[in-house]
Amino acid sequence: DAGVIQSPRHEVTEMGQEVTLRCKPISGHNSLFWYRQTMMRGLELLIYFNNNVPIDDSGMPEDRFSAKMPNASFSTLKIQPSEPRDSAVYFCASSPGGGAGEKLFFGSGTQLSVL
């Protein structure tokens, strides 16, 4: 299995532009998570899905952020409009089911720089 695949690996954009991050979870996994990592705030859970349904989006910073999971093999995290403070590494992770304590499999992340 190729693991969790994120694209792009790096994204540089200008303030005000729309940014879309993509994630393909491991086949057969039912849960998908979006995390953001910064030096100041560490790893923060933004949102997670179970069976393509958003379960908890309390970590989404504001209305500029939105996430979708149209099917079991694809998810997007969109920022519109982007701001310099959105610069971070964004990780997608998946797990086989929705049970507590299951192992998360992380992608390699997308390094986002907003100028």
Partner 1 sequence: AQSVTQPDIHITVSEGASLELRCNYSYGATPYLFWYVQSPGQGLQLLLKYFSGDTLVQGIKGFEAEFKRSQSSFNLRKPSVHWSDAAEYFCAVVTGGGNKLTFGTGTQLKVEL
Name the phi and psi angles at 25, rounded to 5: -75, 170
Which of 7, 78, 106, 113 binds partner 1 (CB under 8 A)? It is 106
Q: Mark residues 15-54: x for contact with partner 1 by CB under 8 A, - for none.
A: ----------------x-x--------xx-x--x-x----
List the strands of the sheet with 74-79, edge to edge: 5-7, 19-24, 74-79, 65-71
Cα gap 16→108, rounded to integer Å: 26
Site for partner 1, rule CB under 8 A: 4, 31, 33, 42-43, 45, 48, 50, 55-56, 91, 93, 95, 98-104, 106-109
